[in-house]
Chain A
Amino acid sequence: MKRHLDEELKELNKDILKMGALTEEAIYKSIEALKTRDRGMAENVISNDTSVDKLELDIDERCIDLIARYQPMAKDLRFITTGMKINSELERIADIAVDIAQRTLEIVDKPLLKPLVDIPKLAAVAQKMVKTAIDSFIKGDIELAKKVMLSDPEADNLRNLIQKELVDDYMLKDASSAPRAVQLLLIARFLERICDHTTNIAEDVIYMVQAEVVKHHPEKLK
């Protein structure tokens, strides 16, 4: 039977996709701004965040409206509640892209501390996780969601590696490197946080598809 709710859910899906696209763009640009030392691009990430914030509110409103008017059950309910959670995770990720852009602005005019090798690697992991997480939501694909969750340790390892290198090879050896090293340290931390939010999205997708809560229950993934 054709339901009007299906049309509404399609619109919600479209909005969440748009939110995902804006978030991916924000991360991409924040990393490109860092790599290419592009002040304009970093500023662009910051100014574009208002459209992400606006869309977040619109999606929230749409979800609350759907719950109030349709009192959805079962997979409809899981889709809408998961949509709300993913919406808020994506908005947090976009905020972190702004944080990265702000740190970039702090160092963009200063001499490069070191060639960037591991940070772009970590950024690539984070971008891939975000893309895969959004795909897993669109396709309702649990295997993709699991793939996202299994990538998180790689991000943690890279973050630790970056931290160790910046502290041991720069900050401890030359105190004057600290102001620039701290910015890079923060950026590594931000990228790792993006991966954590992405993992939350993957957990939400698994709940949406098979109604199983895997959050805080890693054993259920096996």
Chain B
Amino acid sequence: MAKIVSKRLNLWYGDFHALKDIDAGFEEKRITAIIGPSGCGKSTMLRVFNRMNDLIEGVRTKGTVLVDGADILGENADLVVLRKKVGMVFQRPNPFPLSVYENIVFGEKIHGERLKRDALDEVVEKSLRSVLLWDELKDALNRPALALSLEQKQRLCIARLIAVKPDVLLMDEPCSTLDPQATMRIEELMRELKNNYTIIIVTHNMQQAARVSEDTGFMLLGELIEFGKTEQIFTAPKDKRTEDYITGRYG
């Protein structure tokens, strides 16, 4: 069953029509990649899924987005619950200027969980283990998060999300600042995480989309041109515009 369903989703930044009638279903516990040239609307679409665009002035949306069947664009949508359920990882890792430990328990505190120290310790260990950082950082939990390597910071940001037990991880170019080795390791982590989370990744790196995802959507000028199994999109795309883009003929 689709975890997130978008029906005739439209979005405008002022007069600019950034998303046009997007119809798509994002399956549970799978990795879906969204590809397309800069400005095609892929990050905008990702941000709709946890209402990050609300922060931008002049944004207007029309259509429906269902997460677990509940409309998240409606007036009654609970944004705190939504953002707990649907977390986002950004292009540049953005840990808080706090310790590793405090970064991870931050969400728990914000969401009003009053856990005892033991329980918090458990959350920290579990979250760091799930991003394969525990062995590296278990003796450095009080280190400032800003002192970590870029890859560690990105892993920490993922751990910080996982600590609040989301269902969906939205990743906006999560590896674009990382070197190839670190990129590979984050991709391995994504494959691990997919067993428990629904992952949607926006990426400019087509090889990454081909390697890591099971479904792929291609966007162009605000439209979702083609959506299908990744192997089909990269070996036998149905739409000429998809073909032109992934073979580098677009431009």
Contact = CB atoms under 8 A, between A and B. Distances in A.
A222 interface: no
Given A73-B206, A73-B210, A78 B236 contact: yes
B76 interface: no
Interface size class of B (residues with CB under 8 A): 10 to 19
Q: Which of B206, B235, B237, B251 has the most CB of A within 10 A?
A: B235
* Range, interface on chain A: 10 to 19
A138 interface: no
A1 B248 contact: yes
Nearest to B236: A211
A73 B244 CA distance: 10
Contacts, number: 33
B250 interface: yes
A66 interface: no
Nearest to A5: B248
A74 B236 contact: yes
A176 B206 CA distance: 68
Interface string B222-251: 000000000000111100001100111111
A92 to B, nearest CB: 25
B114 to A, nearest CB: 51
A73 B246 contact: yes
A75 B243 contact: yes
B251 A74 contact: no
Given A211-B235, A211-B236, A74 B243 contact: yes
A158 interface: no
Contacts of A211: 235-236
Given A72-B247, A74-B237, 12 more contacts: A1-B248, A3-B247, A73-B235, A73-B246, A73-B247, A74-B234, A74-B242, A76-B247, A77-B235, A78-B236, A211-B235, A211-B236
18 contacts: A1-B248, A1-B251, A3-B247, A3-B249, A5-B248, A72-B247, A73-B206, A73-B210, A73-B234, A73-B235, A73-B246, A74-B242, A74-B243, A74-B246, A75-B243, A75-B247, A77-B234, A78-B235
Query: Sorted from nearest, which 6 A-B pairs have the closest CB atoms?
Result: A211-B236, A1-B251, A73-B246, A73-B234, A74-B243, A76-B247
